[in-house]
Amino acid sequence: MNSRQAAMLATGVARRGAALKLAVPASLLFFAFLIGLGIVGGISGASQASAASCGGAGLPDAQYESDDQDNGGSKDSTDGLHAQQIDNAKTIDNVAIKGGLPGRATLVALMTALQESTLINLDHGPGDSVGLFQQKPQYGWGTKEQIMKPAYAAKMFFFGADSGSPRGLTDVKGWESMPLEKAAEAVQHSEQGELYAGQESEARRIAKEAGINLNRSGKANTQPSGTPSDAASAPSGAPSGAPTERCENEGDQQDTPAKPGTAFHDSQADWPPQVKNRRSTAEAVAWARKQAETGTTGWYRKCLRFVGLAYGWNSTEVYAVDQYYVAPASMRHNRDRNPPLGALLYWRTDSRAGHVAIYVGNGEIASNDIREPGKISIVPASDIESKWGATYLGWAPPYFPTSG
């Protein structure tokens, strides 16, 4: 592990929504709380990731643009981590191929590992959880030394223990045809399988880069007839009842989109009467700036939690982009690059989650992960487009009707 990776992982930022693996009777409740990430375990070791998790905020999960104008010209990118993701993805796929499994199995495993460890072979986690899938030695997944070997961890994820406990993916009846996130959840025992679904786009992107064929047939477990191939299927990443991607309707199309990277400018606007928060706009902006000034860590992939806490709330939405559509259409200022101080700015990314940041004035935002993973930085609002390639949706007042 290089120094840059160690610095990132020391803050716990690479850990997001881990589903703690426990092979115990369903009647036994095991609760685990990971401070800073809001992760709560449930039945059979199921974990509940923070509802404020930002999923895939930006393009690569562990790869960031460098900014040579800051920090004395030093680079802020997590060099080498993406290469590790690719290597680990190839290892997982090789295990699946040797086991005669179809590309669908690899996709489920990649989605799981991205959610559990960002596809980085972590040597730590809640309790004794380690490795790509955050498997726990005390519950039969092997010794720590074994689990820290990606090939072994992948084999256990796919096939489980010889005794049948803990069970692997192929022990789950009907895994070949059930929704991808449900298959992952059946192995990991997570209470929020929709968070696995949020990793599908990223898993497909990494697989393509790694040269992995997610549409191949398996020898031991072929895809059932009548099931759409992975190559043709759309991402399954929405929570139940929610669309995979939010789409604008005619009423939302207020303005022609500006060229990506166009600067943002201040405007004056009063919040609607129904916008009531625990902190004032000035207090929220000051709090956000303080997080950047002090170098506070622990915000990796937690953009929605960050802006919510700025105004004194814990958001109950799972994805940042959903928070934008919680606001009535009259509050959503689509594509408008003239937000008022304290407004929440939203972007669509290449994952289900999207991104949100708080506008602090002078064309700048307070955003997590943009210069250094896990930290808050004050940057031009246009950086989310120019550095991450995200699509700007618009701004809305700090409206948190489902928070508490």
Q: What's the pLDDT tens digit per position in 84-130?
A: 999 999 999 999 999 999 999 999 999 999 988 999 999 988 788 89
Q: What is the pLDDT of residue 58?
A: 31
Asked if 295 contacts 367 with a C-beta cutoff of 8 angstroms, the reply is no
Please name which of 367, 377, 376 lies closest in space to residue 346, comparing C-alpha atoms. Answer: 367
Regions of the chain where pLDDT drops below 70: 1-79, 191-193, 220-257, 315-316, 404
DSSP 137: G
Q: What is the pLDDT of residue 39?
A: 32
| DSSP string across 93-112 | HHHHHHTT--HHHHHHHHHH
Q: What is the pTM of this model?
A: 0.49
Which pairing describes strands 364-368 and 376-380: parallel, antiparallel, or unpaired?
A: antiparallel
Distance, CA of 61 to CA of 205 (rounded, Å)? 11
Asked if 39 contacts 49 with a C-beta cutoff of 8 angstroms, the reply is yes
Q: What is the pLDDT of residue 256?
A: 55
Amino acid at 102: P
Distance, CA of 112 to CA of 193 (rounded, Å)? 10
Please name which of 23, 197, 229, 173 lies closest in space to residue 110, comparing C-alpha atoms. Answer: 197
> In this structure, which long-range contacts are made by residues 35-39, counting pairs with CB atoms below 8 Å and at least 24 apart in sequence?
36/12, 36/298, 37/12, 37/298, 37/302, 38/305, 38/314, 39/15, 39/126
Please name which of 149, 28, 2 lies closest in space to residue 82, comparing C-alpha atoms. Answer: 2
Asked if 271 contacts 397 with a C-beta cutoff of 8 angstroms, the reply is yes
Distance, CA of 325 to CA of 364 (rounded, Å)? 23
| DSSP string across 240-308 | TTS-SS----GGG--SPPPPTTPPP--B--PPPTT---SS-HHHHHHHHHHHHHHT----TT-HHHHHH
Q: What is the pLDDT of residue 171?
A: 94
Q: What is the pLDDT of residue 199?
A: 87
Q: What is the pLDDT of residue 234?
A: 30
Q: Can you tell me which residue has the tokens 């487009």?
A: 385
DSSP 71: G
Q: What is the pLDDT of residue 316?
A: 62
330-355 CB burial, b ≥16 within 10 A, e <16: ebbbbbbbebbbbbbbbbbbbbbbbb
